[in-house]
Every structure is written in structure tokens, then in C-alpha cells.
Structure 1
Amino acid sequence: MLNLSIILEDSARNVPDRTALVFGDLRLPYSMVNSVANQVANLLVSRGISKGDKVALLCPNLPYFPFVYFGILKAGATVVPLNVLLQPREIAYHLTDSDTKALFCFEGSPELPMGARGREAFDAAEGCELFFILPATPLAAESEHGESFWAALGGMSEEFETVQTGPDDTAAILYTSGTTGQPKGAELTHMNILTNTIVSDEMFPADPDGDVSLTVLPLFHSFGQIAVMNVSVRRRATLVLQPRFEPGEALDLMRREKVTMFAGVPTMFWALLSKIHADGAEVPSTLRVAVAGGASSPVEVLKDFEGTFGIPILEGYGLSETSPVASFNQLGRPTKPGTIGFPIWGVQMRLVDDDGNTIEGEGPGEIAIRGHNVMKGYYGRPEATEEVMRDGWFRTGDIATRDEDGYYAIIDRTKDMIIRGGFNVYPREVEEVLMTHPAVSLVAVVGVPHGSHGEEVKAYVIPAPGATASEHELIAWCKENMAAYKYPRIIEFRESLPMTATGKILKRELRR
């Protein structure tokens, strides 16, 4: 018997009165979160959901998310968390592809009508039988879109005997946005996620009075769900929920709730620093741990953060397929800014060539991973699974180098690499150099089609406040600081860059 919900049950048993969730003025203790999750499990079982069935969850960072997530797990079912920005056609695709039987859907708002979108998708997905709406109005018993969560929970017991699941049973199916083709669902087992949660948790000493974690990374994404929510629940921490990242509000929450831990993607750290420098906002003083992942952090941002907050950003690396954490700058050894650290306990990493042969020395090569964190496979896609799995090694598609101490540094995604006139150009390298120019606040480099070179290097730049450098000046500066085949020939200034819901810069939008 091994069920991921044990992390919540254990904390509810040991610290029932400790605050588990903070959302606005709402403060909910561990005992209540566990009780509502038990009601969700009773509801699912009473409606015919059995062990191994798939149940989807479309919800932003609200108390509903952990209620439903752990309720699904307790019922022995598999959670299928969905991106809150999906359109009806895309939601229907995910429901059908994963053979989902029930959908819990947040009602949303006029700006983000999740309830209407979810209902339309549910009606279009033939195999999906149950639809529950998570009302935007607290405790509302009715909704125009379908059966209200609170009405459905009426009369459900707050006690539930968790269904026995095995280590290899699927706990969650996480859809990867994949740069090519349709999204694929990575099947993660109870063992995958529980082990990754335990190992990630134990990399940091816990505050005996209880850590406080600001939760802005979307919980539907592996980083927010496992490295933030599950790790916090296991360490009996308080999760301060922010449904949509806004730097001013995030800084206020850090100060007001005495936040000790924060995990974000690089663009979030950049936004926090921009806010502090632009508005002279007060720097929160209680932060002890800052973790970045999801994309490579520009070294300039790492330096600025440590200078401003007095603590380093610890960078890690992982993918949905690796539950997610694979490597990290761990506290027992020196932090190396600009690297993703070294493999976590129980995980092996190596660099391989196109044929899967090991590359010795510093590389570069593609990262391959083996360990307790590697997924079962892509749900219903044996061919796609075979493409990335060789003898238990998962091929990530990320290109990295490795130094003499065993620290890895990501150069780029294989798919983002630009081939200009036969030369490989790694956008990350060009971005790092451009970020050191005083007129540049943030930059994204992509390849655009070119008649004779195949691809040309183009940089999209958000200028620093008050900066006046022209396109011509920046290109001339790049020419002096980079090899001739690397420097961008085209620079476009932008006020903002397109980003995913998780805050990653959407390079495919920029290539259009």
C-alpha cells in the first residue's frame, strides 16, 4: 500500500490546528483540508468512481485545488490537472485523451470563463460522465454551469478509509505542452511523486514553527504541484495562495505572511526585482529559501537577487516526465550560479549524443535521466514513450555541459537551437550576453527563417526603464561581444513578451 495522500493525512494527524492554507482572509487548518478531501473521496466513490479511474481538475491556485487533488488520490483514482488557460476544444482533447470520467471545474470570472469552457468541453467529451463546478462565490450551492461542489458534498462523511494503491499505480497524469504535436500525458506513479516530494523536502532544513510558502506557481503544473504544494504539505508548512502572479501583491504577501520559502520561474524573480527597483518597495526580510526552475535564470538576475534579498536563488532542473525534480543546487555543497546543480538523491544523469551514446567530459550533450523520478510513460502512447526511453534512461531534449565537479548547466532545448549558416547558435548564450547591457531588462532570442543562412538570429528586447539605446547601437555592441555567426542581426523592442501560464517565455509565438 502506498498512496500519495499520506502526506496530507500525516500532517493533519500531527498538526491538525496548524494553518495549511491562506487565501485572502481565509485561513484553513490541516484538519479541515483533510476533512474536505475525505468528503471529495466519499463523493467520488458514491458516484461510481473506482480505483484507477481518471478525474480531471481545472482550477487555479485556490483552496479547492488541494481539497480535490487529495480527495481524488484518497479514492484511489488518478488526478489529471489541466491548464486553466485552455480553450473548450483543448479541454475536450485532454478529457478524451486521458479517458477521464469526472471533471471538477472552477467557475472562473468574466475575464476567464472557465466554467463555461469546462462545461462545453465536458458536453463534447463522450466518456466523461460527471461534472462538478467549483463556485467562485464561497459555499454557493448553485451554478448555471452544473452541479455545485458544495451541494454535491452535502451529507458526505468527513471520514474516509483511503483506497489501497500500489507504488506503481498512476497517481497523476501531467500533460506536457510539447513544442511539437499534441500534448502528451506523462503518467506519474504514487512512488514517483512521493519519493520526489520526500527528497525535495529533505534538501532544506524545516522551520520547527512551520515554514510559510508563497504559492504562485500554477498548481496544475508539476513544479507548483509537487515541489511547492506537496513539499509544503509534507513539511507541515502554510501555503499562501496567489492565483495570479502580480509582483507588488507577491511582495506584500511575503511581508504580511512572513513568507520563508518562495519558488518561481525566472521571469517572476525578474518582475519582483523590477518592482523593488522601480517603486522602492520594501524588501521582505523573512525569506530563507528562494528556488528557481522551469527555465534558465539569467545570471544578471541571480546576481541582482542575491544583492537585493541577501540570499541566493537556488536553481534546479526537472520536467513533468521526471516528477519533476532531477537536479538541484543542494545546500551541502557550494551553489554555482547559472548551473542546475547536480543530481538529487537516487537520480542519475548523463550526457548523450544523438545515438544515445554517453559523452564523457564536459560535453555539450543531451541530458538523459534515470531514477525513481522517471515516469511510467506517456498515457496511451507506447511509440512516443519508446522514442524518449532507452533502457530506463529518459532523454530530455535539453542540451547541457557538465563541469569537473559534476554540476550541469543547460545551454538550450534541442528544439530552440538556431542553425545559422551551418553553425549551431544556442539562444541562451546570446541572451546571457545581451542581459549584461545596461539598456536591456529582459530578452528572448529566436531563429527566424532566412533565404541564404537558413535561419537568422533575432532578439526581442524589453528595454530597461529610461533606456534609449537604438536597435543599431545594440547590434553594434553585440557584434563586439559575440562571434560573428552568433550575434543578432535583428532586434525588436517590446513592452512585454508572450508567456505561458507558468511564466515561461513562449518562443514559438515569437517565431511566427
Structure 2
Amino acid sequence: VSTPPPRARGPAPGGAGGGIRHPPLRADALETPMLNLAVMLEDSARAVPDRDAVVCGDRTLTYAQLDAAANRVANLLASRGIGRGDKVALSCVNVPQFPVVYYGILKAGAVVVPVNVLLKRREIAYHLADSEARAYFCFEGTDKLPLGQEGWAGFTETEGCEDFFLITDGPVAAFALSRVETLDEALDGQSAEFAAEVTEPGDTAVILYTSGTTGEPKGAELTHAGMALNALTCHKMLGEADHDVHLVTLPLFHSFGQTVQMNAGLAARATLILMPRFDARGAMSLMRRHQVTFFAGVPTMYTALLGECTADADAAAAGQNLRIAVSGGAPLPVEIHRSFRRRFGTSIREGYGLSETSPLATFTPPGSEPRPGSIGKPVWGVEVDLIGDDWTSVGDGRIGEVAIRGHNVMRGYHRRPEATAEVLRGGWFRTGDLASRDEDGWLYIVDRAKDMIIRGGFNVYPREIEETLLSHPAVSMAAVVGVPHATHGEEVKAFIVPVPGAEITEEALVAWCRGTMAGYKYPRLVELRESLPMNATGKILKRDLRTEITPLGERT
């Protein structure tokens, strides 16, 4: 991928159809190393302007059209005084507007703050306030606003955002709120040409929120250089192809789909088939219709795909063009490896990473057969060590905490210097995950960060859930743990000690959690107790609770 020369910010001169004519270089730009993550799109738009970039249902955008639409978003932000270093939140499902807005924000020099579409109003408000977002692009969908109209009214009055834009594919209800506009209305009249802001390689490009294992979610600041190099490294690890077709079922607000498929895919000039909501039958149909060559998913998706195949011929038809299958987000069961290879004709390659590492850190080496259970080896430009509590290497043959150093590691947590200092030292990031390494250098995760739960590929952080539960007037104490689950990997269970005299049922608490927390987070299992096991200092002993747990079968 070639990096364009430094350019002045703002609308580029030149008439329609004549392309962008770059203005003279500024004096300060001559001394500024230019790298903007938007080059992932811009370079490909110059090389293959007429190739399909994204397809979603009956809507298709070529590379030229996608780049032009992103330019309109950049001009919109510039017209509102939003530019280099400003934070802009984006909450959107897998539809063409996601990459349009994402790259438009980057072109303007601003920082993208992806927000999980499953979050509730309280959780969204936290992300906007903590990131200091100046604008918020929010997907409305065809049925209703995620926040509801009343929620938007209160939202716009209390949050610090200056501009709210609704991303919609359908009719929009009338709004009396002056600060809420549809994206189409806001883009009306904006130019399709824009010279991207001069950003430095070390500038923050994206802030991805993650809780680690404790406390409120923290924003990992990822740089233009780190994100670009990680995307190009993904392309390198996955091998060359004249024209890949990706089926994108992973949410683009998540680091996995964002880097491995969107950024890497567009840099490789692939066509991305966007699926707003994963379902196995629909995915199989899209694989056949679009002759998909690349699929990435979490283990539960592979389980669902195998479950949808009523005969080997179904898998063979869907996988006849499949070149690459990638899994991440949680350990992939060995049996899924074997069954998928037998029925789809393609081996699944596993990788490992975190939001703080952009995310890819290890992967099955090119030209090597996957080793079921292994996360592979460090990717290009990345080092991995296994360390103890004192940050020193534990030595060969021993289990240690995974530490990562390389281009992919975050700058730090946004406005969290103390939290940053806990996990970063000398360029090394300690992950909290325990692993072993075999004599060939292949890595194997043996345990996860202390209490974190992974449900269906999504990280769930018990302390955040516990603090939300404790806000309920009938809850006195709460402890949240993961329960092994046959299809989701883990299910979330809450042990609750009610306030004396409170009248509350387990079913009522589950219902309350469903309306308060994102769908992947809320505990579907609640057990009321008179007390919880504690040590002498009053710390709840979750390990004692885990010993009482038996694995679950399939559960919604």
C-alpha cells in the first residue's frame, strides 16, 4: 500500500470527474511524517475504482463510491469544526454506512470511537462522556431508535456531544430536536472530494473500549501506524489472492472484524459482503451466492454453520470457493476444527489478540498446517514473551502470562495513566492471559484473565455487571462468574444476596438485567442466596462458587 504525499486538510479543489488535485504542500507538512489509516481505502480506490468494495443486500458501493461517500462525511465534520484529534463516536451494524463514516472520520483527522450497538442508553452515555466525543453517528435501523425517541430527548440535553447523526436505511420519525439529524440530511450538498488531514503515524486513530478485568470500560488508544501495520500484517499472514470476497459477519465495531476484515480487506482490494446480523442459514446462502473466499468468525459461528448443514453437500456447496477460514475471540474446540475441515474442505486458522493490540498478535504461520488448540506464533513485527508477576520471563516449558511488544500495542488507556502503567512497561503489554509454548514456538492459551467471561466471542467483565446489579434497590451483594456452556462458550451467572426484607425473585432480576445491560452481558442465570463465601478480609471467594457449577447445554 502506498502512502499518499502530505496534503492540506479540507475540500480538495477540482471539478467533478477530474479526480483530486492536491494543493501545494504546507511548510509544516514537509516536516510531518504523514500516515492516515484512511489510506486503506484511498489507495485501493485509486487502483480499482470500479471494483465492488462493499455489498449489503441489494446495495453495492464500488471503491470509488465508498471513497467519495467518506469524503462527504469528512467535509461534514470539517464544516462543524471537527478535525485532528477530536473524538467522534460511531454505533452502527454491518451496513455500508459503517465504513463510510469510519473512513470519513479518519480523513477529517478525527479519532473513531466505535460503540457496541448492543449497549443501552446508560452505557452509551458513559462511552460518549469518557471519550469526550464531539459528535455521535448512531444507527437507527428500520424499526426504532436504539435509545427510543424519549431517550434521545434526554440524551441530547445532558451529553457533551455537539452533533448527533442518525444512520438509517428506512423511514425516520419526525424529530423536534434541533441537534439530531439524519446522516442523509447532513450530507446533502457536501462535496465528494476531500484532501485527508495530515496525521502522524503516532497519532491516535481509534479508541476501542475494553474493561480488562475490572472497573469501568477503558478506551485503548490505537495509532494510525499500529492499525495500518496490523491490517497489512493480516493481509500478509492470510496470503495473496487476486480478488478475495469476504463474508463479514463479525461486528465492525469490534477489533476483530474491523482490522482483520474491513481494514485488511479493503487494503487488499477485496469485496466485503456485509451481514448486519449473523444467522447460519443466511451466511450459508451468502457464501454460495457471492462465491465467498474468506470467512472469519468466533467459535459459536462455526458451531452454528456446522449445525445448519443437514448434509455434507450443503457444506461443500457453501465452501467450494472458501480459501481462508479464521477463528478468534475464544478457544476453538478441536472437534470443530476437524468437522469443519471435513465438511467444508478448509482448515480453520486460529489467531490471538486483544483490543489493546489492534488486535492481531499471533496467528497460524503462512504455509503451516493449523495445530488445533494453538494460537500460532507471533505475527510480523510482534514479540511475545511469557512472564511472571515481576515482568521477567518464566523460561522454557513453563506457563506464564502473555506479554506482547510491537507495532500493534496501544499508546495507553485514554485518560487512565495509572491503569496504563499497570499493563505497559518498556513497550511490553501484559495481557492477563496465561499460556505455554511448545518446542517449535507455537503458543497455547491455558487460562484467561482472572475473572473475564467470554460469551459468544464477546468479553463480559464481571465487576461491571456486579456494579450494575448493586444499583438495584433489592440487591445487597453480587458475585458474577462464568458457567461453561456447550454453544456460547460461557454463560453469565449472578449470585445475589438480597437486601433484608426485599421482595425480589430470580426471574424479576433477570428481566431487570435484560432491560439494563447489553444482550450479550446480562446474566441469564441468577441465584438468590443468604450469604456468599468470603475470606477474612471480606473478599468474595469466587473460586468457591465456581466449584459448585456444572456445564450447561444449549440455552438462548
Q: Smaller-chain TM-score range?
A: 0.7 to 0.9
The secondary structure found in structure 1 opposite 2:405 is: strand
| Among 351, 357, 370, the residue aligned to 2:392 | 357
The secondary structure found in structure 1 opposite 2:214 is: coil
CA distance in 2, matches of 1:490, 1:169: 46
CA distance in 1, matches of 2:175, 2:312: 41
Aligned ranges for residues 472-491 of structure 1 at < 5 Å? 490-491=549-550
Aligned ranges for residues 183-222 of structure 1 at < 5 Å? 183-208=217-242, 210-222=243-255
1:413 partner letter: R
Structure 1 residue runs of 5 or longer lacking an equivalent are: 419-426, 459-487, 498-512
| Among 455, 464, 472, the residue aligned to 2:543 | 455
The secondary structure found in structure 2 opposite 1:69 is: helix
CA distance in 2, matches of 1:63, 1:190: 22
CA distance in 2, matches of 1:381, 1:121: 28
Note closer, same or farther for the CA distance 1:446–1:24 as it changes in structure 2 (3 Å cut). Answer: closer
Note closer, same or farther for the CA distance 1:34–1:144 as it changes in structure 2 (3 Å cut). Answer: farther
CA distance in 2, matches of 1:312, 1:383: 42
2:62 partner letter: P
Match of 1:510 in 2: none
Paired residue total: 450
CA distance in 1, matches of 2:306, 2:289: 18
Alpha carbons 2:239, 2:366 under 8 Å: kept: no
CA distance in 2, matches of 1:306, 1:410: 22
Aligned ranges for residues 385-400 of structure 1 at < 5 Å? 385-400=420-435
Alpha carbons 1:105, 1:133 under 8 Å: kept: yes
Aligned-residue offset at 1:391: 1.3
CA distance in 2, matches of 1:99, 1:181: 19
Aligned-residue offset at 1:495: 3.2
Note closer, same or farther for the CA distance 1:450–1:273 as it changes in structure 2 (3 Å cut). Answer: farther
The secondary structure found in structure 1 opposite 2:385 is: strand
Match of 2:515 in 1: none
Aligned-residue offset at 1:121: 7.0
Match of 2:134 in 1: 101
Q: Residue deviations 1:16-43, cap 9 Å, x none?
A: 1100111001121110000000000001
The secondary structure found in structure 2 opposite 1:202 is: helix
| Among 415, 440, 446, the residue aligned to 1:380 | 415
Aligned ranges for residues 243-282 of structure 1 at < 5 Å? 243-277=276-310, 281-282=314-315
Structure 2 residue runs of 5 or longer lacking an equivalent are: 1-33, 454-480, 496-531, 536-540
CA distance in 1, matches of 2:382, 2:401: 16
Mapped pair 1:402 → 2:437: yes
CA distance in 2, matches of 1:151, 1:239: 26
| Among 159, 162, 165, the residue aligned to 2:193 | 159
CA distance in 2, matches of 1:489, 1:45: 57
| Among 21, 34, 47, the residue aligned to 2:54 | 21
2:349 partner letter: L
TM-score by length of 2: 0.76
Note closer, same or farther for the CA distance 1:38–1:318 as it changes in structure 2 (3 Å cut). Answer: same
2:543 partner letter: E
The secondary structure found in structure 1 opposite 2:134 is: strand
CA distance in 2, matches of 1:301, 1:308: 10
Q: Residue deviations 1:443-471, cap 9 Å, x none?
A: 6489987699973586xxxxxxxxxxxxx
Q: Residue deviations 1:373-393, cap 9 Å, x none?
A: 000000000000000011111
2:251 partner letter: P
CA distance in 2, matches of 1:74, 1:121: 31
The secondary structure found in structure 2 opposite 1:369 is: strand
Match of 2:216 in 1: 182
Aligned-residue offset at 1:117: 8.3
Note closer, same or farther for the CA distance 1:141–1:13 as it changes in structure 2 (3 Å cut). Answer: farther
Alpha carbons 1:232, 1:238 under 8 Å: kept: yes
The secondary structure found in structure 1 opposite 2:196 is: coil
Note closer, same or farther for the CA distance 1:288–1:166 as it changes in structure 2 (3 Å cut). Answer: same
CA distance in 2, matches of 1:322, 1:336: 23
Aligned-residue offset at 1:137: 1.4
CA distance in 1, matches of 2:450, 2:107: 39
CA distance in 2, matches of 1:112, 1:240: 25
Instruction: Decide which moves more: 337-346 or 121-130.
Output: 121-130
CA distance in 1, matches of 2:333, 2:346: 16
Alpha carbons 2:487, 2:554 under 8 Å: kept: no
The secondary structure found in structure 2 opposite 1:16 is: coil
Mapped pair 1:348 → 2:383: yes
CA distance in 2, matches of 1:152, 1:197: 31
Match of 1:31 in 2: 64
Aligned-residue offset at 1:281: 3.6
CA distance in 1, matches of 2:238, 2:336: 23
Aligned ranges for residues 280-299 of structure 1 at < 5 Å? 281-283=314-316, 284=318, 285-299=320-334
Alpha carbons 2:208, 2:221 under 8 Å: kept: yes
2:299 partner letter: P
Match of 1:371 in 2: 406
Note closer, same or farther for the CA distance 1:351–1:410 as it changes in structure 2 (3 Å cut). Answer: same
Aligned-residue offset at 1:332: 2.9
CA distance in 1, matches of 2:270, 2:151: 32
Note closer, same or farther for the CA distance 1:442–1:176 as it changes in structure 2 (3 Å cut). Answer: closer
Note closer, same or farther for the CA distance 1:47–1:443 as it changes in structure 2 (3 Å cut). Answer: closer
Q: Identity over aligned residues, as a percent?
A: 53
Aligned-residue offset at 1:412: 1.5
Aligned-residue offset at 1:490: 4.5
CA distance in 1, matches of 2:398, 2:66: 47
Alpha carbons 2:128, 2:159 under 8 Å: kept: no
CA distance in 1, matches of 2:258, 2:150: 23
| Among 337, 340, 344, the residue aligned to 1:302 | 337
Aligned Cα RMSD in Å? 2.8
CA distance in 1, matches of 2:157, 2:275: 31
Match of 1:473 in 2: none
Aligned-residue offset at 1:206: 2.8
Alpha carbons 1:21, 1:29 under 8 Å: kept: yes
The secondary structure found in structure 2 opposite 1:123 is: helix
CA distance in 1, matches of 2:286, 2:175: 31
CA distance in 1, matches of 2:208, 2:402: 21
Note closer, same or farther for the CA distance 1:39–1:286 as it changes in structure 2 (3 Å cut). Answer: same
Note closer, same or farther for the CA distance 1:51–1:411 as it changes in structure 2 (3 Å cut). Answer: same
Mapped pair 1:76 → 2:164: no
Match of 1:507 in 2: none
Aligned-residue offset at 1:199: 1.0
TM-score by length of 1: 0.82
Alpha carbons 1:141, 1:149 under 8 Å: kept: no
CA distance in 2, matches of 1:16, 1:351: 45
The secondary structure found in structure 1 opposite 2:238 is: coil
Aligned-residue offset at 1:347: 0.4
2:212 partner letter: G
Match of 2:466 in 1: none
Note closer, same or farther for the CA distance 1:117–1:364 as it changes in structure 2 (3 Å cut). Answer: farther
Q: Residue deviations 1:270-323, cap 9 Å, x none?
A: 111111148974431111100001111111111111111111100000001001
Match of 2:123 in 1: 90
